[in-house]
Structure 1
């Protein structure tokens, strides 16, 4: 790993380090993250989530669907204080932990935790994101209705992203998808595994 934590998070590094500490302790104890992930928290999780942050428009209202341990939503809120992030998660034990972390990090004014399934949320956002939640076909049905016209769905995906896009094309078209791009981020940091992002613009 050649990139430094400070290069990625700058003056927000103390917040990122505290979040990583919480993930590695209470996050593991309460089943938010697997114990085997602790040794690779930075490279595989925090850096992976932070890599596509430049794609998020300035001052955007962001929703993280199926937020789990706050990846990527909390990472984005730490890296980008201009964003307003809503963490959407249906499980009580996860939302309780997320609320505790948001308070610990002093992000109450910028991050909101909502205990709900995506289909129960009745607002729209500039950007809707998710990571390791579901196949794109299913994910689009949850996320695209939350994207305001002209907004973006930014789904963090693995190597099968292009295949998932082909499988989901009919669903995406029905959900008013416009341009669809599969892009990778993290090359500037020389990440071992660059972050693959499916970027879907919702038509006006």
Structure 2
């Protein structure tokens, strides 16, 4: 039985974003509401704004992700944005990468409870073994993980040439991109720009920085798209 708070109505945008899987999204919100604070996943002030500030905010970045993409969600934490993306876009092949064991346990429980086809991996993007295991993703996502300069340095090696790093940021995204543009470029990022997701759907659109990984020069080897899996759930 769902533990959704009866006093918290389903946002109108939820049906548009999640379609016939909106009940699954509602169950995820219920799990966060029931367990998120006690398990250190969200702050107490976030309980009453889970839909707009976290779940819908995460799901709408799917506008930037091509069909059937291989996605790695770095520092997934409570499952944001990876779990909402998996609910809204079952066509995506998503890995949730998280270094903390207790959060890996949470993500595993969520995947099993919602019957989501997710791969859950414990580790950090900058670790050599993780870079060997999770190479050549079409898209890498990150939310509230690190400043862009550090994020690009950690995450760009996981992105295939021509693929995308999509970082959820706040109102100062443009300033952060200008400040860190040189470091992003040194990490292999090109065509960096700030975009809005969910405009006209959400009261406050999600702001993302989208960075493409440079393609290798002619004659350089390209990496294989294959990657091993571990802890497959769903």
Scaled by the length of structure 1, the TM-score of the pair is 0.94
Tell me how large the CA RMSD over aligned residues is: 1.4
**What is the CA–CA distance in structure 1 between the aligned matches of 2:195 and 2:118, rounded to whole Å?**
27
Of 185, 192, 196, 2:197 maps to 185
Residue 167 of structure 1 corresponds to 179
| Cα deviation 1:12-62 (Å, max 9, x = unaligned) | 101101111111112222111112211111011111111221210100010
Residue 198 of structure 1 corresponds to 209
Runs of 4+ in 1 over 6 A off after TM superposition: none
Secondary structure in 2 aligned to 1:28?
coil
Secondary structure in 2 aligned to 1:99?
helix
**What is the CA–CA distance in structure 2 between the aligned matches of 1:183 and 1:5, rounded to whole Å?**
21
Of 43, 54, 66, 2:52 maps to 43
**What is the CA–CA distance in structure 1 between the aligned matches of 2:14 and 2:165, rounded to whole Å?**
27
Secondary structure in 2 aligned to 1:151?
strand
Residue 118 of structure 2 corresponds to 111
Query: Could you say if the C-alpha distance between residues 2 and 94 of structure 1 is closer, same or farther in structure 2, counting changes exceeding 3 Å?
Result: closer
Summarize the alignment of residues 20-169 of structure 1 with structure 2, pairs less than 5 Å apart.
20-107=29-116, 110-120=117-127, 121=130, 122=132, 123-169=135-181
**What is the CA–CA distance in structure 1 between the aligned matches of 2:163 and 2:175, rounded to whole Å?**
23
Question: Structure 2 unaligned runs (5+)?
Answer: 1-9, 216-234
- How far has the Cα of 1:192 moved from its partner? 2.7
Scaled by the length of structure 2, the TM-score of the pair is 0.83
Residue 16 of structure 2 corresponds to 7
Query: Could you say if the C-alpha distance between residues 183 and 4 of structure 1 is closer, same or farther in structure 2, counting changes exceeding 3 Å?
Result: closer
Question: Structure 1 unaligned runs (5+)?
Answer: none
**What is the CA–CA distance in structure 2 between the aligned matches of 1:170 and 1:88, rounded to whole Å?**
26
Deviates more, 1:116-125 or 1:66-75: 116-125
Question: Quick check: which one's helix share is greater?
Answer: 1
Secondary structure in 2 aligned to 1:178?
strand
